[in-house]
Structure 1
Amino acid sequence: MIRSLKCVFVLLLALMCLFYASQNIANIDACYSAIAYVLSMQEHAVYPNSIMPEVTASPLVWTAVLVIIATEILAGIVLLKGCWDMWSVRQAKAATFNASKKYALVGASIGIIVWFGYFGVFGGALLQMWQTQAGAMSLNGAFQYFASCVFIWLLVNTADV
């Protein structure tokens, strides 16, 4: 039962990644505007000076948008592969099932890179996106998704016997 639940958790995390990527694609203009707003560092009243220059060049903003969406998709696909690998051997010996977790763990790690790395480290710490309402909302959401990735990573990584 626990092995099956781990597979379900990985599947749900994969769907989360793919749903967010799909929502970003379905709302590509709004996605671009949100990323452009954060990269421009507008309305930074609390910490008005930054070590990072503002980024307003459209090709650079589009690059950031595409990297975010592509990495969300990659995380989802790798997680689906991990789910399939785990599901296929859920009735096997513990060593076989434990070995099947590789792609699930890699996929969750990619999700951590997206929502902790891109949003927490670069968006929050470097670009100071927490200073605006829109940036703070994005940062709060990213923390929830990052926490989901970490939680599933920890659950899946526990050894099965």
Structure 2
Amino acid sequence: MTLRWIKVLLVLSMSLMCLFFALQNLANLDAVMHTVSSVLTMTGHEYYPNTFAFAINNEWLIQLAAWSIILLELLAGLLFLFATWQLIQQRNAPAQIFQKAKSMTFIAAGVATLVWFGLFFTLGGAFFQMWQTPLGDGALNDSFSAFASILLVTFFVKQKED
């Protein structure tokens, strides 16, 4: 029973992490737009000054990218919150039912992984080479912490309880 409560609290923590990131981004929307713009326009790239593809300078696309990040963070947070509620409801259920109640946790983790791995690492880090600037590198390093936390908690929650 204690292990189930630990899992519930970890899923709740994931929810709060995602929601806090989204809310902090909303509270600092100008800084978010500046950061996303710096990454997408590939400003300040001295180590690898060329790209095999393109940079994005269109203001509308930059805003779309920034809002996509924020909305996906919100979505992940709300899905983790819903997953927390499902786990609380089934905390006293037989093992098979509690295990089934974890499914929303995995969906939430998928959305969160899309944000911090798909958007930050794949697009930001690999495609737009955001690691080349201090601003981009800081965001990339912080996103790794979020991504690693999501994976570790998800793998722990997935384990069956005795």
Question: In structure 1, what residue type is equivalent to 2:108?
Answer: G
Pairwise CA distance, 1:125: 0.4
Are 1:21 and 2:31 an aligned pair?
Answer: no
Per-residue CA deviation, residues 105-143 of structure 1 (Å, 9 max, x unaligned), is: 111121111001100010000000001111100000000
Gaps of 5+ in 2: none
Partner Cα distance (2:57, 2:36) in 1: 10
AA aligned to 2:19 is L
Q: Tell me how far apart the structure 1 counterparts of residues 110 and 58 of structure 2 sit (CA, whole Å).
A: 30
Distance 1:41 1:150 in 2: 29
1:61 deviates by: 0.4
CA contact (8 A) 1:97 1:160 kept: no
Q: Which residue of 1 aligns with 2:86?
A: 85
Residue of structure 2 in register with 1:115 after alignment = 116
Q: Where does residue 44 of structure 1 map in the other structure?
A: 45
Q: Give unmatched runs, 5+ long, in structure 1.
A: none
d(CA) in 2 for partners of 1:91 and 1:52?
Answer: 54
What is the match of residue 104 of structure 1?
105
3-state SS of 2:48 partner: coil
**1:54 Cα offset (Å):** 1.3
Corresponding residue SS for 2:69: helix
| Contact 1:10-1:82 at 8 Å conserved across structures | yes
TM-score, normalising length: structure 1: 0.98
Matched, 1:71 2:67: no
Letter in 2 for 1:146: F
State the 4+ residue runs in structure 1 displaced beyond 3 angstroms.
none
Secondary structure, counterpart of 1:160 in structure 2: coil
Structure 1: distance between partners of 2:49 and 2:114: 27
Using structure 2 for the length normalisation, give the TM-score: 0.97
Is the CA contact 1:82–1:101 (under 8 Å) kept in the aligned structure 2?
yes
**Structure 2 letter corresponding to 1:21:** A
2:154 match:
153
Aligned to 2:8: 7
Between the two proteins, what is the percent identity of the paired residues? 37
The amino acid of 1:141's aligned partner reads D
Partner of 2:95: 94
Q: Distance in 1 between matches of 2:146 and 2:89?
A: 27
SS at the partner of 1:56?
Answer: coil
List per-residue Cα deviations over 1:68-123 (Å, max 9, x = no partner): 00100000011111110011111110001000001111111211110011000100
**SS of the counterpart of 2:91?**
coil
Amino acid at match of 1:10: V
CA distance in 1, matches of 2:155, 2:119: 21
Residue identity in the other structure for 1:28: L
Q: Which residue of 2 aligns with 1:136?
A: 137
Aligned length: 161
